Structure 1
Amino acid sequence: MKRGFADIFKTDSVLKTLVLCVLTIGSYLIYKLYRFTSQINQHTEFKISNLFIAAAIVLFVISSGSLIYGLANYHDLTILKSSIGIHAISSAFDVTWIVMVRNRINLIAGSNKGDNLWLHPFVTSIFHVIYMQYKINQGLAKKVI
């Protein structure tokens, strides 16, 4: 399927995405993943389950809350230790979600390994939605797809 990025995604500032991801301690990452997923689900047949999205978001909120609570009560290490398990599960869901969105963007772009718009797995694992937005912006600027 080659409908084109223009039919699905919008250009957005990569710098803004980076700054908001850092300032919101990852919350903007989840928001951007949700936006990308919503755009993919609305405009393509490459759907990502709404149940999976809801589970990932709920786990992220619980994980973030428990980590913040644990750090606020750092004198009681059992609280912080108990939050590590939920954080690991939440992280597994987040990574899975990132991979799912990355794979769908590659499908939409019709990109294969080595192509200009191909989302490299290693770079995606480090920069997540920042890199995705960068590649989307590239695709929209070239109007190749």
Structure 2
Amino acid sequence: MKKGLTDIFEIDSVLKVLVLCVLTIGSYFIYKLYWFSRQINQHTELKISNLFITTAIALFIISFGSLIYGLVNYHDLSILKSSMAIHLASSVFDVTWIIMVRNRINVITGSNRGDKLWLNPFITSIFHVVYMQHKINKGLGKSAI
């Protein structure tokens, strides 16, 4: 059974999403991706692997922790250099996760290039969950700021 946006997602303030992503230094971004993925997994057949989600979250936490540790010990550049591989792996997983969620939202909305609800890959790569929430709000008939 095909479900629409109203059966899967909720309206949320785009400004709130943006502010929380900035204030939490990206942690809210991961939470929002997790929330979108959970909604997609619960309400559609377009599943995103729980193992993938867990791995992406774990890599983000490790990467974030190593960045903070490296900044606290900024005098020792070897710490920051040694954590580059984990940052790269975390970034690859994050980008892949963004693409997976974006593609599934496009399928759910039945959107193709140029449609009102189509998630543009370039804009999605810059604004991530903020842009996704904007398009979801638009599809639900409301543009919550």
TM range (shorter): over 0.9
In the other structure, the counterpart of 1:134 is: 134
Does structure 1 residue 11 correspond to structure 2 residue 3? Answer: no
- Distance in 2 between residues matched to 1:3 and 1:75, nearest whole Å: 54
Aligned to 1:112: 112
Q: Sort the Cα spacing of 1:2 and 1:118 in 2 relative to 1 into closer, same or farther, 3 A.
A: farther
Structure 2: where are the runs of 5+ without partners?
Answer: none
Aligned: 1:50 with 2:50 = yes
State the TM-score, normalized to the length of structure 2.
0.96
The list of structure 1 runs, each at least 4 consecutive aligned residues, that deviate by more than 6 angstroms after superposition, is none
Task: Return the alpha-carbon distance in structure 1 between the equivalents of residues 17 and 92 of structure 2.
Answer: 22
Judge conservation of contact 1:2–1:110 (CA < 8 Å) in 2.
Answer: no
**Any idea what the Cα deviations from partners look like across 1:79-115, whole Å, max 9, x if unmatched?**
0101111001000000000000000000000000000
**Is the 1:40–1:46 contact (alpha carbons within 8 Å) kept by the matching residues of 2?**
yes
Offset at 1:2?
Answer: 4.3
Structure 1: any 5+ residue segments left out of the alignment?
A: none
Written as runs of structure 1 = structure 2, the 5 A alignment for 1:1-145 is 2-141=2-141
- Cα distance, 1:78 vs structure 2: 0.4
Size of the aligned set, in residue pairs, is 142
CA–CA separation in structure 2 for the residues paired with 1:72 and 1:28: 22
SS of the residue 1:141 aligns to: coil
Distance 1:87 1:67 in 2: 8
Relative distance call for 1:2 and 1:117 in structure 2 (3 A) is farther
**Cα pair 1:2 1:109 within 8 Å, conserved:** no
With normalisation by structure 1, the TM-score equals 0.96
Amino acid at match of 1:135: K
Q: Partners in 2 of 1:19 and 1:25 — Cα distance?
A: 10
Question: Aligned with 2:32: secondary structure?
Answer: helix
Hey, what's the Cα distance between the residues in 1 that align with 2:64 and 2:38?
23
